A and B are shown apart, each in its own frame.
Chain A
């Protein structure tokens, strides 16, 4: 709900009764505002667009002097906008129109909105109308609140135990540091896998390189299998973000964390697998086939740039069918090797064959 003075009530539930339009905050159930339907002059729809959700605009009568307290005493705008971020606008508009047309509030005095239906067989009483809805919401909220406070209690207890684990790992790490010779490699590896399970950073080395555990070794071997074909299809090189998406989309469940992927990739070379991790000067990380030689690719890049006279990373990427990220890295490498030189202007970064080298 927003009244275009920029004030918005976000993330709530809109309720329609025979008498009122009520908005209730989804998170803070105490926060609740209402407009009597009698205040609405007419309503209009605003269709959804790009970046805009579907809306209903309710034009209102000027506030009466005995208006109940609300978010504003007065406003210079005579309408409010109801923004339907998810769905429901169409249905809501239809029903709101109905209520406004029927004007049932004129026939029913407020306060008597409970209709009690007695079910003769079961003898149950159901409260219908706005009080019934409010009551159900209240019950649901109490139930949720109860669950949440229990959950928080349990969470706090769990965290106490986790904290003990962190302390324990620190003391073990200290022992390892002191008795360097006495600890076997096996024990060190086991310790690392404990840290992995708990999500505790390695206190000894703070390293990520070689924080590889058996898990990461296995993962590295798996990756070598999974990525062979995709790499071949993409000219032998892929950025780590591409790999992350590819692998996780394929897995569907039990996804890899970004750190898992990086740690596994750091082991590729030492495990003599046919792929390797390469980190460019810019910090961009890629996986290459061992057979891929980026420096050779630079030679063909130089040819392409020479043919066209000059190219930006975007243009080169389109021509060759690479991602812009990797295209840029290749051109930068070519520049580093002295084959290309740059023209860095407001219009962008453009690469030219380095004539200083080739023509004296």
Chain B
């Protein structure tokens, strides 16, 4: 096998000399590259000592991104309980990297996060309404919790009644889930809301207040 390996290494070196820059600069090309690797059963990010990492430099790019992601999540954890939208994470990471750093796509972030899971500190990805929430604390979030997060994503908050009507759950089940999210610091309770208490997700706050709305829309949104 070592002969084959040497041959492959040469092929990879050739590829790298022609296209290393392309991988660096083009997020779409990176996606293609990663997808192809996955299809054939190769993980180019498994080890910094792997050929892919050494010759194409993909390793350093993603591992460094991992460090930046960890730092952003840690910095914001006290605010959002360890849940953050992929968009906000993306913005914060870009800010930290500075204007002249290499561009990073959301796909890049997702791949880096998938690698971080192995470190055991609770990194996970939760799909919600077309985007993702990134979890960075070892809180147990099961299917019930995830589904409620997805429901809350539309308005940034959710109520027991909404859960009952949308998901057809019993009150007790809804309350258990909401209390768990409260305990973990991922949800905040607004008991002063007209009608019934609202459970807000700070992870979704920037999504909300960064959407520009007209005065008419604002009137409609506030009960």
Contacts and interface: CB of A to CB of B under 8 A. Distances in A.
Interface of A: 2, 4, 6, 27, 50-52, 77, 81, 86-87, 147-148, 150-152, 154-156, 158-159, 161-166, 168-169, 172, 190-191, 194, 196-201, 215, 239-241, 244-245, 248-249, 253-262, 279, 282-285, 324-325, 344-346, 348-349
B22 A257 contact: no
Contact of A348 (B49, B183, B210): B183
A239 B37 contact: no
Contacts of A152: 29, 32
Given A51-B206, A155-B36, A197-B51, A279 B120 contact: yes
Contacts of B54: 254
A167 to B, nearest CB: 9
A248 B121 contact: no
A262 B26 CA distance: 30
Contact of B41 (A166, A196, A255, A282): A166
A59 B214 CA distance: 14
Contacts of B2: 190, 194
A261 B64 contact: no
Contacts, number: 186
Nearest to A144: B26
A241 B52 CA distance: 24
B119 to A, nearest CB: 5
B118 interface: yes
Given A4-B212, A244-B66, A253 B47 contact: no
Contact of A162 (B22, B40, B77): B40
A200 B44 CA distance: 9
B22 A283 contact: no
A191 B121 contact: no
B180 to A, nearest CB: 9
Given A154-B19, A199-B46, A257-B48, A4 B213 contact: yes
Interface residues of B, number: 70
A197 B50 contact: yes
B207 to A, nearest CB: 9
A215 B51 CA distance: 14
Interface string B93-106: 00000010000000
Nearest to A248: B67
B119 A198 contact: no
A200 B183 CA distance: 41
Interface string B4-47: 11011101100100110010001011001100110111111111
Nearest to A156: B36
B134 interface: no
Given A162-B40, A165-B5, A257 B63 contact: yes
A61 B171 CA distance: 53
B120 A198 contact: no
A1 to B, nearest CB: 12
Contacts of B33: 155
The 9 lowest CB-CB distance pairs between A and B, nearest first, are A285-B120, A255-B63, A51-B206, A163-B40, A241-B121, A199-B43, A240-B119, A199-B46, A199-B50
Given A155-B33, A198-B51, A348-B183, A253 B60 contact: yes
B53 interface: yes
16 contacts: A4-B213, A6-B211, A151-B22, A154-B18, A161-B7, A162-B37, A197-B5, A200-B43, A201-B41, A244-B70, A248-B63, A248-B64, A255-B60, A259-B118, A283-B122, A325-B121
Nearest to A187: B1
Nearest to B52: A199
Contacts of B44: 199
A253 to B, nearest CB: 6
A244 B119 contact: yes
A161 B5 CA distance: 10
B38 to A, nearest CB: 11
A166 B8 CA distance: 11
A260 B47 contact: yes
